Amino acid sequence: MFGISGAVISAVDLIRGLGVYVGLDVIEVEGATGLIDTNYEGKADACLAALADHDFVFVHVEATDEAGHARDVKQKILGIEYLDSRLIARVMAGLEERSIAARVALLPDHLTPVERGNHVHGPVPVAIAGPGLAPDSVSVYDEDSVITGALGLLHGDEFIRTLLSR
């Protein structure tokens, strides 16, 4: 649809299958699980390596979703902290070290609040940073705060078009 090459990194068969369906290459990462013990650093390194010959890399982490299903707030927080410090920070540092001008997006595929223990309907928080995007005034990444930002509430294909500048 957009004429770009892409890859998917995930331990979840459904996500990997969807990636295959839309033409993404599946990248295997040793130690990748769908749980809190996943290889965050390996996923980050595989993402950076894939950017050498792919225009787009989708990295999926299941740990926070599983913690939501288990209604385990400590594991949910730990999963978010690991995602931030062990994967996102590593990717951002790697992009800077390699002088790769890339847009990076952060978003869940759905909401799984620990209070409910299941998936719930509702808008998900989205953050996109990179070349051609000016920072906005949002300083908190959550479902309510991001709606007031420059991206507002995205519908349909607005997210992917914004991410890809299309």
Say if 130 falls within a structural domain. yes
> For the residues 69-85, what does the mean pLDDT come to?
97
Q: Dig out the tokens for 46 from the structure.
A: 């595989």
Residue 1 lies in a domain: no
pLDDT at 166: 87
Give me the pLDDT at residue 1, please. Answer: 82
Q: For residues 99 and 26, what is the distance between their CA atoms, to the nearest angstrom? A: 25
Q: Which residues contact 124 (CB under 8 A, 6 or more apart)?
A: 107, 108, 109, 110, 111, 143
- Going by C-alpha positions, the residue among 34, 120, 117 that lies closest to residue 72 is 117
Give percent above pLDDT 70 in the chain: 100
Task: Answer whether residue 43 is part of any domain.
Answer: yes
Examine residue 45 and state whether it is found in any structural domain, yes or no: yes
> Any idea what the CATH number is for the domain that residue 110 is in?
3.40.720.10
Tens-place pLDDT, residues 151-161: 999 999 999 99
The single residue listed with the structure tokens 């990462």 is 29
Q: What is the pTM of this model?
A: 0.93
On whether residue 84 sits in a domain, the answer given is yes
Domain limits for position 141: 6-164
For the chain, how many structural domains are there in total? 1
Tens-digit pLDDT profile for residues 103-134: 999 999 999 999 999 999 998 999 999 999 99
Nearest to 33 by CA among 55, 65, 2, 4: 65
Answer whether residue 134 is part of any domain: yes
Question: Is residue 34 one of the residues assigned to a domain?
Answer: yes
pLDDT over 90 (residue 143):
no
